[in-house]
Each structure stands twice: as C-alpha cells, then as structure tokens.
C-alpha cells in the first residue's frame, strides 16, 4: 500500500471513530435527558469492578416533575454514597452541570470531617430519617452551608438506590442568624448601658435624697419636746421606713450595676451574689473557685456574673432545690463556670407548663450572653434530677484584668 492509500485509510478510520464518538455522546445526552424526565428507571455506572446497574425506584414522571420544582436539592444515593439521581437545584447549589454531579460520589463535595460525620447516618438502618449540618464544596472553591436530611429506602437488590437525601441551602438562614445575633448583642449592650445609667441615677439622686431625708427626720425627732411622745413615735416609724427604702434602692442599684465586680473583680462578685442568694432563700451554696491565672475582659467577667445571677434567680423561682454548687476554673484557654442544683429539673425540649415562655427566654438569654463574648453555654436537665448549667468563655489575648483567685471551697449556709 502506497502512502496516499495509507493516508486515505487513516482518514477513513478517524472519521469512523469520530462518528462513533458523536453517536455515543448523543446517546449519553439522551440517557441523561431520559433520567431527568423520568423516561428510565435505571443507570449503568462504570467502576473498577466493571459496569454496575442501579435502579431508580419510584421514578415516575409526575414525581420527577415535582422534585425538579423543589427549592431544595434532591438526591438518590447508592449504599456507598454514589449519586444515582440529582435534581437541577442541587447542581445549581454546587455551581456545576448536572452531568458533572450524577454518577459521582456525594463525599466528593464534602470535607473529610463532614464525610466522617455523614458515614454513620448512611449506615444507620434503625432510624428512618436523620439530619446533619454540612458544608458543600462548590465549583468556585467556596463552601456552602447546608442541611442534609437522610432517609434509607428498602433495598430490593444490590443495584437499587438505598438512600434518599434532601439538601437545603442554609446560606440565607445563616445570614439571618448572624443578623439576629448581631441585633441580640446590640440589645445586650444597650441593656447594660441602660442599667448603668439607671444605677447611677438611683445612687446619686434617690439614695442621696433618702439619706438626707433620714438625717433631717432624726434631727426633727431630737428637737421634739419630751411630752410629744406620740409624735416622736411617728417620726421614728417614718425614719425606719425611709431607712428601709434607702436599703432597697441601694440593693437595686447594686443589682443594676455590680460595683463589687468593677472594684474587686469576678470572684468576690460571685461570692457576693451567692451570699445574697443564701440570705434571701436559705438554700446553701457551695462556691468553689480554683486559682485562675488567665485574664478576662471586663465584658466576659460581666457575662459570667450575669449568668450566675440569672441561674440563681431561676433556681429560686422554679427549682425547689435543697443545695446548689458553683464551680469556677480555667482549662487551658477556657474559663468554665458550672452551676448545678438538686431541684425538680425540667425537660430541656419541653419546659414545664405555665413557665414555657419565662424559662425559654431565660435560657435563650443565657446562651446569647455567652455567645456575646465568644463563649458557649450548655444546659442539661432531667425532671426530678436537677439542672446543670455550664458556661465556657475563652480567655482573650491581652485581656484587661486578672481574676482574683480563691484556693478553697466555700459553703454558704
């Protein structure tokens, strides 16, 4: 065969191969269109063990139209997390063509940590449905916060789809959550500022006026004639009432603005608030503050003080406790405040009837206070077994004050 003949034969072979390749591409496009529109209920995926046939059960056309109209991503997975079906919404989440999503492992779009967290849900056969918060890796290298809801399906064979998954884009929800948290923190700052202003007004005006009134009443009582015993008794009663009112106003001022916290530090302030609780309720409190070498900001100290104050208030009003334990310690870069009581407790998911609103807002407030300084707050409670509250606050670099250490446990009774 001469050179010209060889060239013609090569062109013919190349043309035949190109025609065959185009035909296979058209066939693949038709197959994908048929899968999306519900025209087929099976998918062949090539693997290292050869081609595998996966059936897409329940893939009727009407259901496919419904799934394609969803605002959430919808997936059908094999037992080993291979994506057998995905709607267009899921592909748009990942910013990828649908053809680049189907037939690939769902784990490809997750971080290693999320893969490890998802694995038990995919293997769990006892619980019908589970949810998990994950981050999906988009084409532009961004991470999309999402919630996946996983439900296992009955398997008729090794090639059948065994997992149904709904994926919800949480980007807007997270943005709204951040906005609400920012608003909550602004409200907390405004609340503390208002408390400070009101405390100053009470101390500088009301308390001073009451003090002046008390002095003048005592002068008046001393200038009354000896025969005016009835009038002397009346002035003495008024003086006692004014003195009691002055003490109440001073107590309100201290509650609004804990001056002991600003002057002496966190641990003396915790000691003072527990002493007031014991005096008011008669419930003994064990206060155990380990030496804490780290520093906290003034805001963090105020948050810990308010958390203890609110927790003791809830115990007084609802717990019917006989004993309370308060522990403060530092673990690495975290300061922990734990408050435990042996009271009635409650169901954390279902607050007691008649107190749902009050308790719920109190718990939300405690969590928001901890989050305000970058901390977290956990609450564990069981009916009849008491309640445990644990606040964990990070120690910032270059904090403003040194915590005052206490080397022994104190029991107030």
Q: What is the pLDDT of residue 283?
A: 94
> Shortest CA distance to 303 belongs to which of 258, 263, 343?
258
Judge whether residue 347 has pLDDT over 70: yes
Q: What is the pLDDT of residues 193-223, one digit of tens each?
A: 777 788 777 777 788 888 888 888 888 888 8
Judge whether residue 312 has pLDDT over 60: yes
CA distances from residue 187 to 98, 307, 312, 359 in whole angstroms, order as listed = 45, 16, 23, 19
Q: What is the pLDDT of residue 367?
A: 85
pLDDT over 70, % of the chain:
76
Could you tell me the maximum CA-CA distance found in the chain, to the nearest angstrom? 149
Q: What is the pLDDT of residues 270-282, one digit of tens each?
A: 999 999 899 999 9
> Shortest CA distance to 332 belongs to which of 376, 393, 289?
393
pLDDT over 90, % of the chain:
18
Judge whether residue 37 has pLDDT over 70: no
Judge whether residue 296 has pLDDT over 50: yes
Task: Rounding to the nearest 10 degrees, give the CA dihedral for residues 154, 156, 159, 161.
Answer: -20
**Which structure tokens are listed for 320?**
């019917």
CA distances from residue 137 to 90, 114, 144, 201, 237 in whole angstroms, order as listed = 12, 11, 6, 55, 76
- Average pLDDT taken over every residue of the chain: 78
Q: What is the pLDDT of residues 131-162, one digit of tens each?
A: 889 999 988 888 999 999 988 876 655 555 57
Q: How far apart are CA 327 and CA 92, in angstroms?
A: 50
Q: What is the pLDDT of residue 360?
A: 44
pTM: 0.57
């Amino acid at each position: 065969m001469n050179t010209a003949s060889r060239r013609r034969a090569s062109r013919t072979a190349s043309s035949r191969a190109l025609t065959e390749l185009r035909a296979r591409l058209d066939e693949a496009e038709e197959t994908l269109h048929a899968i999306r529109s519900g025209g087929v209920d099976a998918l062949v995926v090539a693997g290292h063990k050869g081609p595998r046939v996966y059936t897409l059960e329940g893939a009727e056309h009407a259901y496919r139209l419904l799934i394609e109209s969803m605002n959430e991503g919808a997936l059908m997975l094999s037992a080993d997390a291979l994506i057998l079906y995905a709607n267009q919404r899921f592909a748009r989440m990942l910013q990828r063509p649908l053809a680049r999503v189907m037939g690939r492992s769902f784990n490809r779009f997750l971080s290693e940590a999320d893969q490890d967290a998802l694995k038990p849900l995919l293997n769990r056969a006892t619980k019908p449905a589970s949810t998990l918060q994950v981050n999906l890796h988009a084409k532009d290298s961004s991470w999309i916060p999402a919630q996946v809801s996983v439900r296992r399906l009955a398997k008729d064979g090794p090639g059948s789809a065994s997992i149904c998954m709904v994926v919800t884009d949480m980007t807007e929800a997270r943005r709204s959550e951040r906005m609400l948290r920012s608003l909550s923190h602004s409200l907390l700052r405004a609340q503390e500022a208002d408390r400070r202003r009101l405390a100053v007004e009470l101390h500088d005006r009301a308390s001073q006026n009451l003090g002046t009134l008390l002095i003048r009443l005592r002068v008046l009582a001393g200038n009354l004639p000896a025969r005016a015993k009835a009038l002397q008794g009346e002035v003495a009663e008024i003086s006692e009432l004014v003195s009691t009112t002055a003490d109440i106003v001073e107590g309100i001022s201290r509650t609004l603005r804990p001056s002991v916290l600003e002057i002496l530090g966190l641990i003396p302030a915790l000691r003072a608030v527990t002493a007031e609780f014991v005096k008011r309720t008669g419930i003994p409190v064990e206060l155990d503050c380990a030496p804490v070498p780290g520093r906290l900001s003034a805001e963090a100290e105020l948050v810990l003080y308010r958390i203890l104050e609110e927790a003791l208030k809830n115990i007084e009003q609802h717990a019917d406790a006989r004993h309370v334990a308060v522990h403060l310690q530092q673990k690495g870069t975290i300061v922990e405040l734990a408050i435990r009581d042996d009271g009635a407790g409650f169901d954390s998911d279902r607050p007691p009837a008649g107190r749902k609103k009050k308790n719920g807002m109190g718990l939300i407030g405690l969590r928001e206070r901890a989050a305000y300084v970058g901390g977290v707050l956990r609450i564990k409670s069981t009916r009849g077994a008491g309640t445990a509250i644990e606040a964990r606050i990070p120690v910032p670099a270059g904090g403003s004050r040194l915590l005052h250490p206490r080397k022994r446990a104190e029991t107030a009774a």
